[in-house]
Chains A and B, each alone.
Chain A
Amino acid sequence: MKQQGLDFGERKPQPAPREPRRGWTVSQLTDRIQTALETELADFWVEGEVSNLSMPASGHIYFSLKDDKAQIRAVIWKSDLRYVRFRPKDGMKVVARGQLRVYAPKGDYQVQVQVLEPLGKGSLQQAFEDLKEKLEKEGLFDAKRKRPLPLLPRRIGVVTSPSGAVIQDVLRVLGARYANLEVLVYPARVQGEGAAFEIAQGIRALNRLPGLDVLIVARGGGSLEDLWPFNEEIVARALAASTLPTISAVGHETDFTIADFVADLRAPTPSAAAERVVQAKRDLQGQIQALEQRLASAFAMRFQRVKARVLGVTSHRVFEAERGRLRTYAQRVDDLARRSETGLALQKERAATRLRRHAERLEAFRFERQIAERRARIGRAYDRLETRFRADAQKRRGVLGRLAGVLDSLSPLGVLARGYALVWDAEGRRLLRRADDVAVGDTVRVRLLEGGLRAKVEAKE
């Protein structure tokens, strides 16, 4: 179709019109423009910076999209808003999906937006990152804020939905393997409108409950939208303010929420949070058992050394008797040391005490005992010797006495003492025993007890 009225070709003098020239009405033209543009540009993505944003009472959102050379008007109808989570602001770089709409009454056109996202990221993602950045700046994620979980949690508060599968999982893990754990569940909605508020409320309420050791916020897997309450500031603030150590267990392992960053521990899943608690007990049991064994063997070693020393000291013959008894004790200690069960500890302690006393006594007697022993032996020998000497002397004295007696009795002096006299010849060579041994008139010599006489034989009788 040839449109003479739109011929902007070469300017040249025109012949005067023969009849009045007619064109399309504006409506016709606008209609053509509308058809052309709206058909051609029925669905596209466009990116640009938001400006001139306005949100009048009607609920629709109007703004312009621009770059450095051009701009275009855009609108999000109220009816489409529920699909657009992200709220644009002036100056934001966005990407919009929509269609071109011509607004006939004003003769202009605009982009009718159905989807709007911050440039490069999903809108929730943007909100997530905004909050994350903000809280990070405040230091809420700092490692130094993280409190250690109690080694042995016994009363646990859980904020979660009481109807979900999550609580069942958690309780199955906890219940089966940790029979002596007390779990208090604060029921809260975990998705949808108001969920964040309830979760925050639960965190605060459990903090006011006395005697809890740890607090878990939990939710099962879901879409980013489903997990959203755990990305809200109110929950982050409540976790940060918690005096109880907190565990966040939201969604699957690959899901990260703001709550995960603020909590003292992020458990990849709710079941894992429960596992963590169960593991704590098993670890501790193992740890205590290991310590007990080390205790027993360190103690046994100490005794081995003492035993060796005692045996060294007592290998001297003097201690032969003690050694026998000591061996018995040492063996008993060995036996006891081999059995590290707690129940036998008392027996062991008693045996140990006895061994200790024994060892101490032996130690104390080490030298004194030897010296005393030898002294005693010498003493005994000396005594025996002395006794023997004494007996000997006595005996000898008796013999001498008797001999002396005999000698006395044999002595002529003894005879003389009794009044007898000895008579010799004149020369004193012969002892006269018979009267015939001399003649009358002979001189004889008489020996008395005291002194002697020279005498003449007058007659024989």
Chain B
Amino acid sequence: MSDETPSFETALKQLEELVQRLEKGELPLEESLKLYEDGIRLSRFCHAKLEEAEGKIELLMKDARGEIAADKQGKPKTTPFTS
């Protein structure tokens, strides 16, 4: 995955654990509330992550040695893929 913190995986795992704890139902009310709030936050985060990236399909350009050609910032040169 990329460099975000927490990652989608981490957030999903936290959400899972949190729901399990809440389902046991042994927590004080105060803590239940906090878990619920955290859970809502995590699920929102996960949903946002799912929809985050911008969809595109690009064809990489390569040089004579088969390396991916890049611009000065090190970003790979691409052309939009046309079918």
Contacts and interface: CB of A to CB of B under 8 A. Distances in A.
A285 B50 CA distance: 8
A299 B32 contact: yes
A234 to B, nearest CB: 13
Contact of B9 (A150, A201, A305): A150
Contacts of B68: 186, 205-206, 208-209
B2 A182 contact: no
A171 B81 contact: yes
A305 B52 CA distance: 39
Contact of B81 (A162, A180, A209): A162
Contacts of A213: 1-2
A345 B40 contact: yes
Interface residues of A, number: 52
Contacts of A201: 66
B74 to A, nearest CB: 8
A349 B55 contact: no
B53 A356 contact: no
Contacts of A352: 33, 36
Contacts of A151: 8-9, 12
Interface string A141-170: 000000000111011000000100001100
Interface in B2-35: 2, 8-9, 12, 15-16, 18-19, 22-23, 25, 27, 29-30, 32-33
A416 interface: no
Contacts, number: 136
Q: How large is the interface on B (under 10, 10 to 19, 20 to 34, 35 or more residues)?
A: 35 or more
A287 interface: yes
B59 A187 contact: yes
B67 interface: yes
Contacts of A302: 22, 25, 27, 29, 32
B25 A198 contact: no
A180 B57 CA distance: 10
Contact of B19 (A168, A295, A356): A295
Interface string A187-231: 100000000001001100110110101000000000000000000
Interface centre among A181, A202, A291 (most CB of B within 10 A): A291
A306 B55 contact: no
Contact of B8 (A152, A174, A211, A353): A152
A185 B23 contact: no
B76 A209 contact: yes
A306 B8 CA distance: 34
Given A284-B46, A298-B25, A342-B40, A180 B62 contact: no
A281 B25 contact: no
A151 B50 CA distance: 10
A186 B30 CA distance: 54
Contacts of B55: 175, 178-182
A186 B23 contact: no
Interface string B30-65: 101100110110011011011111111111101000
B50 A152 contact: yes
A288 B9 CA distance: 12
A301 interface: yes
Interface in A301-327: 301-302, 305-306
Contacts of A292: 39-40, 43
Contact of B33 (A198, A291, A342, A356): A356
22 contacts: A151-B9, A152-B8, A154-B2, A171-B83, A174-B57, A181-B53, A183-B57, A185-B59, A187-B60, A205-B66, A206-B68, A208-B68, A209-B68, A285-B47, A295-B39, A295-B40, A295-B43, A298-B19, A298-B23, A299-B36, A342-B40, A356-B29
Given A205-B62, A287-B12, 13 more contacts: A154-B53, A181-B53, A182-B54, A183-B57, A184-B60, A187-B62, A288-B15, A292-B39, A298-B19, A299-B36, A301-B25, A345-B40, A349-B40
Interface of B: 1-2, 8-9, 12, 15-16, 18-19, 22-23, 25, 27, 29-30, 32-33, 36-37, 39-40, 43-44, 46-47, 49-60, 62, 66-68, 76, 78, 81, 83
Interface of A: 150-152, 154-155, 162, 167-168, 171, 174-175, 178-187, 198, 201-202, 205-206, 208-209, 211, 213, 281, 284-285, 287-288, 291-292, 294-295, 298-299, 301-302, 305-306, 342, 345, 349, 352-353, 356, 359
